[in-house]
Amino acid sequence: MKTAEMLRLAKEAVKNSYSPYSKVKIAAVLAGENCTVTGVNVENASYGLTVCAERVAVFKAISEGRKNFYKMLIYSPDVMPYPCGACRQVLSEFFPEDFEVIVTNGKEEERFTLGDLLPFNFKL
């Protein structure tokens, strides 16, 4: 899937972000061989219960029995939405080190491999 199409999906999905506390809307799009899965950040008054868009997309995909993904685009119109440490670790649970992660605010774009983002991941 082309980055432009992933960005279009992210811009549509970000409208569903529930971010009344941070005011930062984020969407993530997982691209696979025959499917895409989106997720948005869902905040909670108890901040520790907030779930990032990346983890929402991954958990949604896994719960639907989908596992063959090759890249993720993370988008926010508000900031450059680099994935947090928890999201990086979750991504490393399900995807290889060469999995591509694209971070964009719609104007700027940076590309990483998962290995770049989390060089010393925790694996059992």
Distance in angstroms (rounded) separating the CA atoms of residues 35 and 61: 10
How confident is the model over 22-33, as pLDDT tens digits? 999 999 999 998
Q: Which residue has the tokens 């990346």?
A: 54
Tens-of-pLDDT digits for all 124 residues of the chain?
899 999 999 999 999 999 999 999 999 999 998 899 999 999 999 999 999 999 999 999 999 999 899 999 999 999 999 999 999 999 999 999 999 999 999 999 999 999 999 998 888 7
Q: What is the per-residue pLDDT for 30?
A: 98
Lookup: tokens for 47: 């901040």
Lookup: tokens for 65: 């029995």
Q: What is the per-residue pLDDT for 47?
A: 92
Distance in angstroms (rounded) separating the CA atoms of residues 72 and 4: 12
* 54 noted as active-site residue: yes
Q: What is the per-residue pLDDT for 34?
A: 87
* Domains along the chain with CATH numbers: 3-117 (3.40.140.10)
Q: What is the per-residue pLDDT for 110?
A: 98
Largest CA distance in the chain: 38
The torsion angle over the Cα atoms of residues 101, 89, 116 and 32, rounded to 10 degrees, is: -30
For residues 73 and 20, is the Cβ–Cβ distance under 8 A? Answer: no
For residues 53 and 88, is the Cβ–Cβ distance under 8 A? Answer: no
State pTM to two decimals. Answer: 0.95
Q: What is the per-residue pLDDT for 33?
A: 85
Given 54, 93, 100, 109, which residue is catalytic?
54
